[in-house]
Structure formats: C-alpha cells, structure tokens
Structure 1
Amino acid sequence: MRSWRRRVVRLLAVAAALLALATVPLGLILYPTLKPYPKADVPAAATQRDRNLQDLAHLRRLPEVERSFTAQSRAAFGQAVAAIEPRAGELDRAGLAMAAAKAVALADNGHTNVLGLAGDRGFNAVPIRLDWFADGLFVIATDEDRQRLLGGQVLGVDGRPLAALVEALRPYVGGPANLAREFVPNLLISPELLHAAGLAATAEGSSFEMRFADGAVGSVELVAKAATRPPHDRFVWPSDNLSPPGRSSGWRHVLDGVVLPTYLTHLDANYWHDFPADDLLYVQINRVSDQGPVGLSAYLSEMLDEAAKKPIRNAIVDLRFNPGGNYTLTADFTRRLPELLPASGRLFILTGAHTFSAAISTAARLRHFAGQRAIIMGEAMGDRSQFWGEGGGTVLPNAKLALRYTTAFHDWEHGCSLSQITTCFLLNYIYGVPAGDLRPTVTIAPRFADYAAGKDPVMAEVMRQLATRQAR
C-alpha cells in the first residue's frame, strides 16, 4: 500500500513538474502581451503645473508596457517627456496634448498614439469640416452661416501653405506618413491645437486661404467655437464626415441633395451587402465588430450561404472606412469567400488610409487565400503590413487625454515565425498568413469633383475591369 502511495505521489509530482514546464514558458510569453498599464493613483493637485506633472509622470510609464519601442526610440521618448516637464506650468490642456502626442509618436507605430486629437472633440473648432481628395483638401461641411465655403479648396492656414502644415504636423502622429496626413484635417479645424503646435498666433480662430468653388482665391477668418462633444478615446477619422448628416444636424454638406454612391449609403452600418449583378457580390465592412441582432461572423456566414446559391463569379469587399476591431470575426469569411469564386473569378479588395488594424488583417487574409485572383484597389492602407497592436489604453488622470499602447507584433506580409513567438500575437500562429505585398495593385483616389457629383471612381474601375474581362 505504501509503495502504491509513493508511486501516486511521484506521478503527481511529475505531472506537476510537466505542467509547470508548460505553464512557465506560456506565462513568460503571455505576460508582456496582457500586462496592463500601471494605475494612476494621484492626490488632488492645486495648480495646473502640479496636475500636468502628475500626468507626465503617468505618461513616463509608457515604456513599461509599450513593446514597439526600440532602444533608441525609448530613450528619445524619455528625453522628450523630460523636456516637457520644465514647461508644465505653462501648458494648457491642448498644449499638454500636443506635447504628449509628439513624444508618444516617437514609437513610430500606427497604433501607439495619443487619441482624440480633433477639433470639437474636447478641443475648440472652427465651423467647417475638411477631407482629402486626390487633388487636395476641401471643405465638405459647414454650419448654416458659411455655406458659401462648401467645395472650397484649402490652400493654407494662418499664412502657412498646406504642404508646410502637413510636414509640420507629421511628428505628432506615429506610424506611416499617410496615416499622419489622414489626421491633418482634425488638427487644422482646431485653432487651439494649431496654437499648441506653434503653428498659429492665437487659439481663438484661424485664417484660411482658399480657392472657392467659383474659382476665386481669398482668405476667410473663422472664429472657433467651444467643443460640443467630449474628449474621445479612439481615433477620429475625418472620412466619417463624407456622408451628409442631414439638415436637422444644423450642418450643410456638399452632398446635400446628391444621390449618394453605394459606398456612402451605409457608413453607420458595421456591415451590409448587395448583389449588383447576378454573378457579383458586394460587401462593405465598416467595422470588424458585431452590431445589431446578427453578429459579424454569423452575418458573413449567412451571406456566403446566400451567395453560394447564385452563379457568383466575382466579389468586392469594401474596407475603405474600416478602422479595425477583432479580425477573428472575419477569419472564416476570408477563407470561404475565395473558395466560393471560380478560378477565373476576381476578388476586389477596396482600401484607403482609413483601412486600419483588423481591417488590414482581413485584407491580408483575403489576398492570401484568393491568390492571383485578388486585386487590391484604392489607396494605401493606414498602417504598414508589419505593426504592433493589441495592448490597451490609458488616460492621463487630470487632462483626461487617452493614449493607446501596444504589446503584440503582427506581420501580415511574411507571417510570424517561431523565432518571434515571444513578440508575435499568439492568435497569428492560428490565423496569420504571409500575404505578401499589400500595397494597392491599382491606385485610385477620388478627385473632389467626382465625390461632389456622387461618383465613385474606384467602383467605376472595378466595373470597367469586369466588363473588359467579360467581353474577351
């Protein structure tokens, strides 16, 4: 009996040792990915200087969790924060926001940024809204009193040419240059953010040099209004304004009264689809997250079941306004859709600078499984094919500025190797693919005149290519 008990004890000890051997390495891999940002436990501060110093002390802890830093960029970040501290008593909220953004952007990672830096999101704003087109930056919305500015092209602000402003604002956004450019409209409409960056003489208003819709060139003085919406803890994408909000909003829009092109008709829906022709599927995924009674994964599965009953030869997946989410929700779809198409079919993946994070992962998987049948069309996506993601967010305790940190690496061009297991996102060893080059096969950016007329040149090119193939 004692011998039997000793054997059981030994077996349990061996099992425990084996479990420990398996658990300890897994813990070493997972802990850096799951490690939370240290909590900010600060006492009430009496002065702006002390409040800012508390916020900067919290910001200083970013390297404890942020894994995209290199040794060089980590040192540069520390030096940047140290350079802000002597000015703590001088900085208002906008000043702290821009200084912090410039420091965080040194990580040079699209997901690692101060979030919500946008006019009317906790910062003042002039009464116009802007967005980029192939031929420049244009006014797409105004308040009631400034409708004459609709369709105006922005040439400069406060005496600085637009190109110089884009270059000057580049250091405030980490990641590729096209992502930083994408967010320039958010900053240009807020005089206090421009003033904080040293690009405006006053925080109260701005002078915009424009080429107006009638072709005349001139300047217009715009006075800023206080923010009507609270600070935001996510990226604010200017292209969300491309669809008119309706007259009840108090805003006037370039597309008021215009029949909207398909891609602008359902921007408030996370996902929807249509069959423009018997053999063509169009699906627009605007967020990789669930919405309404049917979750994204189930919706896409039911859509493919429906498509399987039709003579589908070609498909279009529109990701142009998709900032990301949970890419596992599209994992089954990205494999099944290419399987549905014949060898002679085509899969068009529509992208733009707003295509970000899990949307990049979705595009990569579609590109991989469709192979030579895949055509990426539109503009470059908003981040590189290799980026750091996951992680989480924190908020500076006094200024309530949100920032994002990242803890897991993604490589959607080559895939993750076993040598990267301590850095790559573990789910990428299940879902990751070596998709190759994710730059557009065909680069097309709408011109403002096309947009204002309700045209979609990207879809027009898709249909042209399909018609050409059918005619052969």
Structure 2
Amino acid sequence: MRRNDHVILGQERSMSRCTRVWAKFFAFGALCAPLFPVPPAAAQTPAQGLTAAQMREDLAVLGQTWARKDRSFTPEGRERFELALRRTTTQVEGMHPHDFALEVARLAALSGNGHSAAHLPAMPSLPVRLWWFDDGLFVVSARADHAGLVGAKIERIGRASPEEALQRVSQFIPGNDAHRKVESTPFLTNPRALERAGISPGAETVALTVRDRSGTRRQVELHADAEPARGHTWEVLLPEAMDAPGRWVHVLDALQVRPAAFRSETDLEYEWLSSEPRVLYLRSNRIYSVDEVRLDLKLFEMTMKELVDSAPQAVIVDLRYNMGGNYLNTILFAQALPELVAAGGKVLVLTGPVTFSAALVTAAMLEMHGDERVLFMGEVMGDEPRFWAEGDLVQLPHSGIEVRYSDYFHDWGNPCREAACLWATRIFGPKRPISLAPDVRVPTTFADYARGADAVLTAALALALDADVGCAAQRVRGAQAARLATPAGRACVAR
C-alpha cells in the first residue's frame, strides 16, 4: 500500500512546478467572489433595549431592501411574506429582541430557498447537543454536569414528539425537508425558539423525556445555558479537543479510533483504503481552503501525485458533511476524476442531508462527467437541484441581524436556460438531465455512529472491492486504524 495513513494536504506547503503553472492558468478562480456563502459566525446579540419603533424600522428594511433583492420568492410566496410582514409589524410592541430575531428568521424562511436565510444572534441554549439519525434524535454531547444524558434518545421535547417539534421549528428554516432537519437541531435546544413554536411553555427551562443508554425512560428539566451553542449544526458530531477549556462530554469519547468522517473538519484529506485493487478515499467538509493554499491547487497536487501514474479501481469522494463554498475550486477536478479511474472502475460519491450548495454542485459535476462510472451512495442531499444562491447580506440597522438574499438561479438537474441562471451554471452545468438522488441508499444510525462504524463508507468500499460488507468493514477499520497487519485484516486483504 503506497499510503495507509491520512494526509491533510493543507499541511503540505511545497508546490510542484506543474502546480505553479496550473495556478497561473486557473487564476480566475481566485478573482471570483464566492459563488456560495460560507456559513457565517452568529450575529451579535441584539441590544436588550431594542424599541418597538426600531423593530418596525428593521422590518421596513427587510421588506423594502432584502425582499426586493431576493429573487427566490414565487409570486404566492411573496404574497405570504408581505402579509406576514404587515402582521408582524403590528405585533412588535413589548417583543423580546430574541423573539424579534426569530420572527425575522420566520419571515425570511417564507422564501422556501435554503440560501435565503437570517443569521440569528447567539441565544441561550440547553446544555446538550442533538443530532438526527435514521433511528431518531439523540444527545451526542452534553455539559459535564449532564454527562448521563450523552447517548440518550429524545422521546419528547416539552409537549411534542421530536417529529412534531421538527415540524414546528421548521417555520424558522428555509429549504427542503433534508436541510430543515439538519438546521433544526440548534432550534430544538433553544428554549426561546421552542416557546415561540408552542413546544415548551417557558423561555428558560425545557422538559425532555429521554431513554438513556441503559434503556431507562426518564424526564429531565434543563435550564438554558447563557453560553452560545457550540458548533454549526453538523459540527456537533465532532468531539472537542480533550484539552479544550470547559470541554463537553461526547458520545465518541470512548472510541480509541474515530471513523475518518468524524476525525476533524478539513478542506481535503485522503488515504488509500486498499492497495490491490487500488481504492482511494477522500473527504472534504468545505469547498474552500482552510489556509493560504487554494483548494483547487490542493486537488490538482493530489491528482498528480496519486492518480495520474497508476489508475485506481475506485475513488470514494465523501461529501456527506460538506455545506459548500465556491465550486470554481472543484470544476476541473470533477471533470478529470472520472477519466482517471481504471477501465470498469467507479467514482463513488457519498452524500447526505448536510451536502449543500457548492458540495451539491460538485457531486452534480462528477455525475455529469462520469455518467455510468459515478454512483451516489448515502442519503438525499440538503437541497434540490434547482435553487437560488449568490447574492449578499443585508444588515438590519438596529438589531444588527444579517439576512442573505439570493439573486441568481441554478439548475443542476437539467440544462439551465432561464434568464436568471448564473453564467457559471450555464457554462459548467449539465447539458442533459441528470439525477442527484442516491443510487444506493445507506442510512446512518445512532448505534453505528456511537460504536465507530461507518455504514456508508463500508458499503461503498464493498462495492468498490466487489466484496461482502463484513470484509469491507474490516478494511475500513483496518486502514483507518493502521491495523491491516492483524490476522483478520490479512485474510480480508487476501480476498
């Protein structure tokens, strides 16, 4: 095996002469504004003295500036927005600033477009972090004094089942069902949002009914923590560093070796899972660089070093926990990769509900250029092939809340011919209809996640090796823990 330990390319500073030539050729990528927004830091908490007059002025800016710039509304959606805006304007007297922020989020969500959203201020949150798995809603992390809740399944939040609570907080979240589910977890631990959605009666405490890991069903009452929520949705799946101040207990703390997908956040990381046949696994959590070396150059360097001289049988591209960035970084990589696999080989793209924006576009471009060589595995992505993006932020003058508008159209399931289509989508988008649905659906359960098993990657490797799932699981565990020297590992490699 040429490489069985993972390499973070962001830590490799040397660039070949060929890469420097590439940099000059593709320099336009650095000149373009990001085609998709990077998830922002939370806005500052609105001043507690925000007056009704100031709120009305903010709502006027929302209606007269933001809504006029945002082109994602349908005519019916715009009518609903204008009606709701007028109603909210009459109800702000005595409204708490956090309730006002939630109202702004609700109004923006009427666009129905995942990119057109309000960036909420930091608010008090419950001392637990939740995530949706195929088998329900679970506590993945908790403050140390609530460590006994880690791993518990949520059975009720206040008056509602988790599914009912999801439906009610979805009023604050634009986008498709998968995206709303991903973005719901900060709202489900926000007492103010739960109160406003009619789920819990108070803005300071919330009653949870849980079934803990011993199987015991119990009710706990949690108080809001003044500390802002940790992580942006999916990042709650990653444990904090062991020496982090005020570190919270995490369900993965017991694992000696974590699955690659949950090691740490990265722009690009790769490793060989098999040397014969050659199977490369690469993952990315963002379509932009985390350092001064551009992501398109990192992808080019990896391609030159690992793929050009010896074609792999399969490449597994893991975009499951990638919310986007700038797809100019992946255009040429997506064109080239399907041509670099061996005859009869596959590009297996792992997707899920977090896969959004430029990550969805990258998956679409791989499908466009790979055709039958490309398979999607995992779950439905966090947006539809047709959506609105680009745009910019409008900051409301008194609350400081920022709301993103979207002003260019994308269609990554069909040729984009509408007048509002972004130029890059016209040029680099599909020339024929394609599907972005999973070819092979593989769910992620809490039981698998908690024990460090990656069912999606295991299924992909089994397909790449034409092997049974048990053997593929051994290879995944072995390669990622550098344990292929074990007898079981040797037997699996020999197959």
Residue 83 of structure 1 corresponds to: 87
Match of 2:389 in 1: 389
In the alignment, what sits opposite 1:287?
A: 286
Q: 61, 64, 67: which is aligned to 1:63?
A: 67
Contact preservation (8 Å) 1:368, 1:435: no
Per-residue CA deviations over 1:413-464 (Å, capped at 9, x if unaligned) read 00212xx2x2000111221124611011111121111101111000110122
With 246-255 and 385-394 compared, the bigger mean Cα shift is at 246-255
Moved more, 99-108 or 124-133: 99-108
Q: Does residue 47 of structure 2 align to residue 52 of structure 1? A: no
In structure 2, what is the equivalent of residue 17 of structure 1? none
Q: Tell me the residue number matched to 2:412.
A: 412
Aligned counterpart, 1:177: 177
Greater shift after overlay, 338-347 or 326-335?
338-347
Deviation string 1:347-383 (CA, Å, 9 cap, x unpaired) is 1101111111011110000011110111101111110
The 1-side partners of 2:390 and 2:68 are apart by 15
Q: Is the 8 A contact 2:141 2:249 kept in 1?
A: yes
Give the match for residue 242 of structure 1. 237
Counterpart of 2:331 in 1: which secondary structure? helix
Moved more, 397-406 or 64-73: 397-406
Structure 1 position 229, deviation (Å): 6.8
Q: SS of 1:200's equivalent?
A: coil
Are 2:105 and 2:118, in contact at CA under 8 Å, matched by a contact in 1?
yes
Structure showing greater radius of gyration is 1
| Superposition deviation, residue 45 in structure 1 | 12
Map of 1:309 onto structure 2: 309
**One-letter amino acid of the counterpart of residue 178, structure 2:** N
The one-letter code matched in structure 2 to 1:247 is M
Matched, 1:277 2:277: no
How does 1:65-144 map onto structure 2 within 5 Å? 65-116=69-120, 122-144=122-144
Deviations 1:257-310 (A, max 9, x none): 31201111232x211111222311211121111222421100101111112123
Q: Is the 8 A contact 1:81 1:100 kept in 2?
A: no
User: Is 2:169–2:188's contact at 8 Å kept on the other side of the alignment?
Assistant: no
Q: For the residues of structure 2 that align with 1:56 and 1:382, how far apart are their CA atoms?
A: 29
Letter matched to residue 426 of structure 1: W
Q: Aligned residue pairs: how many?
A: 417
Deviation at 1:327, TM superposition (A): 0.4
In the alignment, the residues of structure 2 paired with residue 91 and residue 78 of structure 1 have an alpha-carbon distance, to the nearest angstrom, of 20
Change (3 A) 1:301 1:45: closer
In structure 2, what is the equivalent of residue 423 of structure 1?
A: 420
* Distance in 2 of aligned mates of 1:378 and 1:431: 25
Please list the CA deviations of residues 325-362 of structure 1 after superposition, one character each: whole Å capped at 9, or x if unmatched.
11011000000101101330011101111111011110
- Specify which of 454, 457, 471 is matched with residue 455 of structure 2: 457
Do the aligned partners of residues 254 and 435 (structure 1) sit closer, same or farther apart at CA in structure 2, a change above 3 Å counting?
farther
Contact map agreement 1:395 1:401 (CA 8 A) in 2: yes
Structure 1 distance, partners of 2:331, 2:217, is 50
Does the 8 Å contact 1:126/1:222 carry over to 2? Answer: yes
Contact 2:125–2:229 at 8 Å: present in 1 too? no
CA distance in 2 between counterparts of 1:393 and 1:47 reads 21
Task: Indicate if the aligned counterparts of 2:113 and 2:174 stay in contact, CA closer than 8 A.
Answer: yes
Q: Is residue 364–residue 435 contact of structure 1 (8 Å, CA) maintained in 2?
A: no
| Match of residue 20 from structure 2 | none
CA contact (8 A) 1:45 1:51 kept: no
Distance 2:223 2:362 in 1: 42
1:266, 1:281 → 2: CA distance? 19
CA contact (8 A) 2:48 2:97 kept: no
8 A contact 1:357–1:383 mirrored in 2 = yes
Q: Which residue of structure 2 aligns with residue 187 of structure 1?
A: 187
Residue of structure 2 in register with 1:350 after alignment: 350
Residue 244 of structure 1 deviates from its aligned partner by 0.7
CA contact (8 A) 1:77 1:106 kept: yes
Please list every run of at least 4 consecutive aligned residues from structure 1 whose deviation after the TM superposition is greater than 6 angstroms: 469-472
**Distance (Å, rounded) in 2 between the aligned partners of 1:130 and 1:45:** 28
Partner of 1:30: none
TM-score, with normalisation over the residues of structure 1? 0.84
Query: How far 1:469 moved relative to its partner?
Result: 6.4
Aligned to 2:16: none
Closer, same or farther in 2 for the Cα pair 1:206/1:229, shift >3 Å? closer
- AA matched with 1:59: L
Instruction: Decide whether aligned partners of structure 1 residues 45 and 376 sit closer, same or farther in structure 2, where only a CA change above 3 A counts.
Output: closer
Could you tell me how far apart the structure 2 residues matched to 1:436 and 1:404 are? 29
CA RMSD of aligned residues (A): 2.1
**8 A contact 1:94–1:196 mirrored in 2:** no
Q: CA offsets per residue over residues 200-230 of structure 1, 9 Å max, x none?
A: 2111111101011110111001011113479
- The answer to whether the Cα contact below 8 Å between 1:344 and 1:373 also exists between their aligned partners in 2 is yes
Specify the SS of the correspondent of 2:199.
coil
Check conservation: 2:108, 2:116, Cα contact below 8 A: yes
**Aligned partners of 2:413 and 2:343: how far apart in 1?**
23
SS of the equivalent of 1:199 reads: coil
TM-aligned CA distance change 1:97 to 1:374, over 3 Å: same
Distance 2:467 2:210 in 1: 43
TM-fit CA distance, 1:319: 0.5
In 2: Cα distance, 1:270 partner to 1:389 partner: 21
Structure-1 separation of matches of 2:50 and 2:228: 26
Distance 1:145-1:305 versus aligned 2 partners, 3 A rule: same
Q: 1:111·1:404 contact (CA, 8 Å) conserved in 2? A: yes
Q: Aligned partner of 2:426: which letter? A: Y
What one-letter code is carried by the residue in structure 1 that aligns with 2:61? Answer: H
Q: 1:30-66 CA distances to partner (integer Å, 9 max, x unpaired)?
A: xxx9xxxxxxxxxx99862112111111111222111
C-alpha distance 174-51 of structure 1, shift in aligned 2 (>3 A):
same
In the TM superposition, what whole-angstrom CA distance separates every residue of 1:67-90 from its partner, at most 9, and x where no partner exists?
111221111111111000111113
CA distance in 2, matches of 1:195, 1:74: 27
Distance apart, 1:163 and its partner CA: 1.6
Deviation at 1:194, TM superposition (A): 1.4
Match of 1:253 in 2: 250
